[in-house]
Amino acid sequence: MRNLKTWFKTIIFYEILVGMKATLTHLLRYKPITLQYPHEKRTLPDSYRGMLCLLRYDDGTEKCVGCDLCEAACPSRVIKVVSAEVPGEPTKRYAKRYTMDMTRCLFCGLCVDACPVDALGMTREFEWAVYDKRQLLLNKEQLLAIGDRSFPVREKKLELQHPNVAFFNVAFKHMPAKEG
């Protein structure tokens, strides 16, 4: 009996008819879930990881000290840093050239984590479609510009800096300050 039933179902293409009924119900109760992207945009979550940028201190100087750690941390070799001494100040270094090839970036954020001075940040920009791939090879000025427009107000961190780590933007709270 049961066999007969399955046979009958096979003959009339029962499964296919069930599927076709499902698609037809969707057609009749048509309710699109489409977001018409360029016209409407969804609100991004706060933790969204978009375009990378370089940040500045409040006084407008660059945070990056050209330590190359981001380059080392990047799994897809996006970043290229050429560092140099600040003329006249042998202890200070800066990134003379800093390029990011965003065509390869997978927005993992490892470089941001790796940076000891918080010089890198991730913005919520995502509309970076271009006609020429070469436009995605960003240099330092472009990355700083992105930072400037994404973070116009920076946290005041200069004062928090520990004198021992003069160029690091991290407050080393557990370390006693050097006398004098």
Q: How many CB atoms lie within 10 A of CB 17?
A: 11
Q: State the minimum distance, in angstroms, from the CB of residue 103 to other proteins.
A: 24
Q: How many CA atoms lie within 13 A of 100 on its CB side?
A: 23
Partner interacting with residue 105 (select from other proteins, ligand SF4, none; CB below 5-8 Å by kind): ligand SF4
What is the chain's percent helix, strand, coil content, to nearest 5?
30, 15, 55
Residue from 176, 134, 173, 151 nearest 52 by CA:
151
Q: Which residue, 19 or 163, is less far from other proteins as judged by CB? A: 19
How far apart (Å, rounded) are the C-alpha atoms in residues 51 and 112? 12
Task: With beta carbons less than 8 A apart as the criterion, state whether 115 and 70 touch.
Answer: yes
Q: Residues 121-160: x/- map of binding to ligand SF4 (CB under 6 A)?
A: ----------------------------------------
Helix (H) / strand (E) element for 8: namely helix 2-11
Indicate which single residue of 51, 67, 143, 146 sits in contact with ligand SF4 (rule: CB under 6 A). 67
Indicate which single residue of 20, 44, 86, 171 sits in contact with other proteins (rule: CB under 8 A). 20
Q: Which residue, 32 or 90, is less far from ligand SF4 as judged by CB? A: 90
Q: Residues 25-64: x/- map of binding to ligand SF4 (CB under 6 A)?
A: ---------------------------x-----------x
Partner interacting with residue 4 (select from other proteins, ligand SF4, none; CB below 5-8 Å by kind): none
Indicate which single residue of 26, 41, 96, 149 sits in contact with other proteins (rule: CB under 8 A). 26
Residue from 124, 118, 127 nearest 154 by CA:
118
Tell me the torsion sign for CA atoms 139, 122, 75, 72.
positive
Q: Which stretch binds ligand SF4 (CB under 6 A): 19-27, 29-37, 77-85, 126-134?
A: 77-85
Indicate which single residue of 23, 43, 47, 91 sits in contact with other proteins (rule: CB under 8 A). 23
How far apart (Å, rounded) are the C-alpha atoms in residues 47 and 171? 24
* Chain contacts with other proteins (rule: CB under 8 A): 16, 19-20, 22-24, 26-27, 30-34, 36
